[in-house]
Chains A and B, each alone.
Chain A
Amino acid sequence: MRPESEEELVGIVAGLEASVRVLGGGTRGVPGPERVLETGGLSGITLYEPGALTLVARAGTPLSEIEAALEAEGQRLAFEPMDHRGLMGTNGAPTIGGVVAANISGPRRIAVGSCRDFLLGVRLVDGTGRVIRNGGRVMKNVTGYDLVKLMAGSWGTLGVLTEVALKVLPAPEARATVVVEGLETGRAVEAMSAALGSPFEVTGAAHLPGEGRTLVRVEGFGASVEYRVARLQEVLAGHGAVSVEEGDAIWSAVRDVAPFHGRVGDVWRVSVKPSDAAGLVARMEAESLVLDWGGGLIWALVGEGVDLRARLGDFAGHATRVRGGPGVARFQPEAAPLAAISAGLRARFDPRGVFNPGLMG
């Protein structure tokens, strides 16, 4: 099923007799029913005002189309959405609706926030076929409940997005990366904390244990980047051998977890307090690791079928199994009262359980 308009989608949803998998570009490897409800027919940028830093697009709009429109005006999606294709072994074109539904961000999340922090408004069709609007296209909006945030990261379980409004930001003139060599995980997190706790506006802090490299990124006007790189080298000098790399290629590798591409095994994504990272990594027995967000985001490659949560035991944070077969819950199980609230919300927005049933609990 591939509706070409919101009205058509309403009709389809109202007539659904069995559950469906809601699909944007299908690049993120979301499991679900065989029957697919595609959003690709709901496509196109409906409003873009560079001077107001706002863009509105139909949910099925390819991300590449949005990025091209922004680039033409020297702007970008600052939350740096990850491309899952290399990691998941998928094809297809990511859509903006998929990015929003999965709240997909990248390394810059540590500095500017995640996708949900840039989402200004949504239109959706809920499980009963109602069209619901929330938020708008202005940057500050506290009018009623923030269903915009609720929809970001709801993975299609509450409704099918038809249109999203986003805040965009200017793309920087220059960027550079300060690299520290040879740090083990605990020391790398300390180095990244020192950089992130400095006034020098770090927009990426990652650690690649496989290469023994710790990366700290700054972006902005040329002279400002030069100045901050110099100061960050001073901040990091006591932590290890420091060098500077120009350009941005290494950050797409971090964003897309390139060290895991083409490798067999299950992939986990663990969100923690950075200073807990080293202790947790030691318990993971992972075959490969990538640390982003100053140590607050751990990507772990483990053997097929391994329940990483069992290895971690009780910890503060959450673990999502991004890649792997059935048998292990994809999302971190919630404490009982929160699970009841989440189930209650799903029951209100999708009372028949037609959208991605069981995906989130």
Chain B
Amino acid sequence: MEMPKPDPGILARKPRLVSRLRAALPEDAVIHEEAETRAYECDALTAYKCPPLVVVLPSSTEEVSEVLRICHQEGVPVVPRGAGTSLAGGALPTADSVILGVARMNEVLETDYANRFIRVQTGRTNLSVTGAVEEEDFFYAPDPSSQLACAIAGNIAMNSGGAHCLKYGVTTNNLLGVTMVLMDGTVVEIGGAHLDAGGLDLLGLICGSEGQLGVVTEATLRILRKPEGARPVLIAFDSNEVAGQCVSDIIKAGVLPVAIEFMDRLCIEACENFAHAGYPLSEALLIVEVEGSEAEIDYQLGKIVEIARRHDPVELRESQSAEESARIWLGRKSAFGAMGQINDYMCLDGTIPVSSLPEVLRRIGELSEEYGLGVGNVFHAGDGNMHPLILFDANTPGDLEKCEAMGAEILKLCVDAGGCLTGEHGVGIEKRDLMSHQYGPDDLEAQMAVKDVFDPGWLLNPAKVFPLGVSESRRGARMAAE
């Protein structure tokens, strides 16, 4: 993945920039020694690294505003960073950029059960938002696999999803309002504790804009009362096609589970070795979870089991206890870790129409043979959000490039099947150059025009989302203006 060459003029201005930032922030909030900036050289896409020029760790919206005002005046690119868990390189710096990390801003500002919302600073981790309200039996619904570590700021930037979004939606469906700082330091309030935008839906536009439109410092999030209970059922099949058909039939029957997770043989074996969840070793495994009272759960699972039996499952097992349910989910949630024990991997998240699942899985199998790289599939099946994990060896020269080439083919396959490049991880740098496969020039131009409005100088996270060649004239205009 190519990144733009650093601007030598900016590199030369580092001392002035550092002294201005240090004058504006507490001493320990500005990091500029190379030994220390190295900790921010990458996110969870670890194949790409570059230490930033400076790292700032503000503690308030006012400090964020100050930082952005200074960087705007100095013409320095800013890369916002939540917890650095992006799988797409969303927080990858360039050598001439300032990393603006919100990790120190992790306070709960307001909790309101009567109106069912919480307002937090965005450096707060996803899981600790639920942690702040679970004493009252409430929760924050979006649950990305990295929820222990990932920050709300990054969730908003990438519009993160999770396993349970079939019922509860993704971040954008659970975000009510934000405090956001524009690149020139202006602080804006969008939305609030009330529902729906008054004017244009700027909140919807910001969510998923990958930190390119502004830095979100505070968020008002919808919280929900926890269901009385939840229970999963495991259904194993001897073919992917049949498992896919079963998913479609469950949905058509009018049952709406909170989650339908799909794993193929390679993933099942890896997870079983890792988490010992008692998964049957078959070609395809579904974990279907429903919620409600005991009687409601029994009724829904009864319907699901009835549908599944029509497809001759090789095994069908309802969880009998809370411990068993937890173990079933532990297996699924540790899929990435389990695969990581086998080898290095690259995780994609292309999304496809559920109906094309068998065909896409078959083609992925063929590509795996062609490239000689193993692929495990774990999948939010209810909403078509795939997660092919391509195994490779980072120490074998050429393996990463081969893996990337194969990943690109899989993602193009998803788009050609009527789907998209990314369902929840974001474009970042990883899928940037594939955007032209999904969108035409006018489609991309319309998106870039939005950035022109929010950030005319293209200083915020500039080398992401759009193919470098496509965004070059806009980024170049900034360089030329200096």
Instruction: State whether B454 touches A341 (Cβ < 8 A).
Output: yes
CB under 8 Å from chain A, chain B span 416-458: 418-427, 431, 435, 438-440, 442-447, 449-454
With A and B bound together, what is the CA distance between A272 and B16 in angstroms? Answer: 47
B469 within 8 A of partner (CB): no
Interface residues on B, range: 35 or more
**B188 contacts A338, CB within 8 Å?**
yes
B128 within 8 A of A: no
Residues of B near A131 (CB, < 8 A) are 442
User: Which residue of B116, B201, B384, B424 is within 8 Å of A196 (Cβ)?
Assistant: B116
Query: For chain A residues 156-209, which have a beta carbon within 8 Å of chain B?
Result: 158, 169-173, 190, 193, 196-199, 201
**Contact (Cβ within 8 A) A345 B453:** yes
The reply on A149 being an interface residue by CB < 8 A is yes
Among B189, B204, B225, B447, chain A packs the most CB atoms within 10 A around the CB of: B204
Q: A116-B204, A223-B299 are in contact. Are A320 and B198 (CB under 8 A)?
A: yes
Chain B residues closer than 8 Å to A223, beta-carbon distance = 295-296, 299
Q: Which residue of A lies closest to B419 (CB)?
A: A138
Contact B188 A337 (CB under 8 A): yes
Residues of A within 8 A of B420 (CB): 136, 138, 141, 143
Is A170 within 8 A of B205, CB to CB? no
Query: Once bound together, how far apart are the Cα atoms of A224 and B189, in whole Å?
Result: 41
Q: Which residue of B lies closest to A130 (CB)?
A: B442
Given contacts A138-B419, A143-B431, A345-B200, whether A318 and B208 have CB atoms under 8 Å apart is no
Residues from chain A with a CB closer than 8 A to the CB of B292 are 201, 224
Contact B450 A74 (CB under 8 A): no
What residues of chain A lie closer than 8 Å to B440, measured between beta carbons?
Answer: 133
Q: A52-B384, A198-B225 are contacts. A145–B249 as well, Cβ < 8 Å? A: no
Q: A264–B12 Cα gap in the complex (Å)?
A: 70
Measured CA separation A196–B116 after assembly (Å): 9
Q: Is the Cβ of A141 less than 8 Å from the Cβ of B423?
A: yes
Q: Are B452 and A348 in contact (CB under 8 A)?
A: yes
Instruction: Closest B residue to A274 by CB, please name it.
Output: B115
Considering the chains assembled together, what is the distance between the CA atoms of A158 and B113 in angstroms? 37
Contacts of B182 in A (CB 8 A): 337
Q: Which residues of B contact A255 (CB under 8 A)?
A: none
Whether B293 is near chain A, meaning CB under 8 Å from some CB there, is yes
Cβ contacts under 8 Å, B418 to chain A: 136-138
Contact B423 A221, beta carbon cutoff 8 Å: no
Render A312-333 as a binary contact track against B, CB cut-off 8 A, 1 for contact: 0000111010000000000110
Contact of A132 among B165, B200, B431, B446 (CB under 8 A): B446
Of A53, A114, A150, A342, which is within 8 A of B196 by CB?
A: A114
Q: Is B195 an interface residue (CB 8 A)?
A: yes
B256 & A142 in contact (Cβ 8 Å cutoff) = no
Are A147 and B450 in contact, CB atoms less than 8 angstroms apart? yes
Q: Shortest Cβ distance from B250 into chain A, in angstroms?
A: 9
Is B341 located at the chain interface by the 8 A CB criterion?
no
Given A223-B296, A332-B199, are A341 and B453 neighbors across the interface (CB < 8 Å)?
yes
**A344 engages B453 (CB within 8 Å):** yes
Please state if B170 and A140 are interface contacts (CB–CB under 8 Å): yes
Q: In the complex the two chains form, what is the Cα distance from A275 to B299 in whole Å?
A: 36
Contact A117 B169, beta carbon cutoff 8 Å:
yes
Residue B374 lies at the interface, judged by CB distance under 8 Å to chain A: no
Q: How far is the CA of A54 from the CA of B442 in the complex (A)?
A: 25
A356 at the interface (CB under 8 A from B): no
- Residue of A whose beta carbon sits closest to that of B182: A337
Q: Which of A53, A133, A339 contacts B251 (CB under 8 A)?
A: A53
Instruction: Please tell me if B173 contacts chain A, counting CB pairs below 8 Å.
Output: yes
Binding stretch for chain A, among B57-65, B348-356, B396-404:
B348-356
- Kindly state whether residue A3 has any CB partner on chain B within 8 Å: no
With both beta carbons as reference points, the residue of chain A lying nearest to B228 in the complex is identified as A199
> Which residues on A sit within 8 Å (CB–CB) of B465?
144-145
Given contacts A170-B256, A224-B299, A227-B296, contact A342 B200 (CB under 8 A): yes
Contact check, A274 vs B114: say whether CB atoms are below 8 A apart: yes
Q: B240 near A: Cβ within 8 Å?
A: no
Q: Is the CB of A338 within 8 A of B114?
A: no
- Give the CA-CA distance A140 to B418 in the complex, in Å: 12
Question: How close is A206's CB to chain B, nearest CB, in angstroms?
Answer: 14
How many angstroms from the CA of A140 to the CA of B350 in the assembled complex? Answer: 9
Closest Cβ of chain B: how far from A320's Cβ, in Å? 7
Residue of B nearest to A338 (CB): B188
Known A-B contacts A52-B248, A116-B201, A147-B450; the reply to A138 vs B194 at CB < 8 A is no
A153, B197: Cβ atoms closer than 8 Å: yes
Query: Which of B172, B423, B452 interacts with A138 by CB under 8 Å?
Result: B423
CB of A281 closer than 8 Å to a CB of B: no
Determine if A140 and B207 form an interchain contact, defined as CB atoms under 8 angstroms apart: no
Contact (Cβ within 8 A) A197 B225? yes
Q: Is A38 an interface residue (CB 8 A)?
A: no
B194-A316 in contact (CB<8A): yes
How far, in whole Å, are A146 and B422 apart by their CA atoms in the complex? 13
> Which listed residue (A52, A113, A193) contacts B114, Cβ 8 A?
A193
Is A49 an interface residue, CB under 8 A from the partner?
A: yes
Instruction: Report yes or no: B449 in contact with A149, Cβ–Cβ below 8 A.
Output: no
Task: For residue B356, give the distance in angstroms from its CB to the closest CB of chain A.
Answer: 9
CB distance from A219 to the nearest CB of B (A): 11
B204: chain A residues within 8 A (beta carbon): 116, 146, 148-150, 152
For A193, list chain B residues within 8 Å (CB).
114-116
B200 contacts which chain A residues (CB < 8 A)?
150, 153-154, 158, 342, 345, 360
Residues of chain A in range 66-119 having any CB-CB distance to chain B below 8 Å: 73-74, 103, 105, 109-110, 113-114, 116-117
Question: In the assembled complex, how far is the CB of residue A319 from the closest CB belonging to chain B, in whole angstroms?
Answer: 8
A142 and B159 contact, CB distance less than 8 A: yes
- Tell me the nearest residue of chain B to A348, going by C-beta: B449
B384 touches A140 (CB 8 A): yes
Asked if B443 and A134 make an inter-chain contact with CB atoms under 8 angstroms apart, the answer reads yes
Most buried by B among A139, A150, A320: A139
Verify if B226 is at the interface (C-beta below 8 Å from A): yes
Cβ B450 vs Cβ A345 within 8 A: yes
Cα–Cα, bound, A42→B252 (Å): 29
A335 within 8 A of B: yes
Q: Of A114, A146, A171, A339, which is within 8 A of B254 by CB?
A: A171
Query: In the complex, A142 Cα to B204 Cα: how many Å?
Result: 12
Q: In this assembly, does A361 line the interface, its C-beta being within 8 Å of a C-beta of chain B?
A: yes
Q: Which residues of B contact A134 (CB under 8 A)?
A: 443, 446-447
A-B contact pairs, 27 of them (CB 8 A): A49-B353, A50-B252, A114-B195, A126-B446, A136-B420, A136-B438, A138-B385, A140-B384, A140-B385, A142-B170, A142-B422, A142-B425, A143-B438, A143-B439, A145-B208, A145-B209, A146-B208, A150-B450, A154-B201, A193-B116, A227-B296, A274-B114, A318-B197, A337-B182, A338-B188, A338-B202, A361-B199
Q: Nearest 5 pairs between A and B by C-beta?
A: A149-B204, A318-B198, A51-B248, A140-B423, A170-B254
Known: A51-B248, A143-B435, A297-B195. 20 other contacts (CB 8 A): A52-B248, A138-B423, A139-B384, A139-B385, A140-B351, A140-B383, A141-B422, A147-B446, A150-B202, A150-B205, A171-B254, A173-B254, A197-B113, A224-B292, A227-B295, A227-B296, A271-B194, A273-B115, A344-B453, A348-B446
Using a CB–CB cutoff of 8 Å, the interface residues on chain A facing chain B are: 49-54, 73-74, 103, 105, 109-110, 113-114, 116-117, 126, 130-134, 136-150, 152-154, 158, 169-173, 190, 193, 196-199, 201, 221, 223-224, 227, 271-275, 293, 296-297, 316-318, 320, 331-332, 334-335, 337-339, 341-342, 344-345, 348-349, 360-361
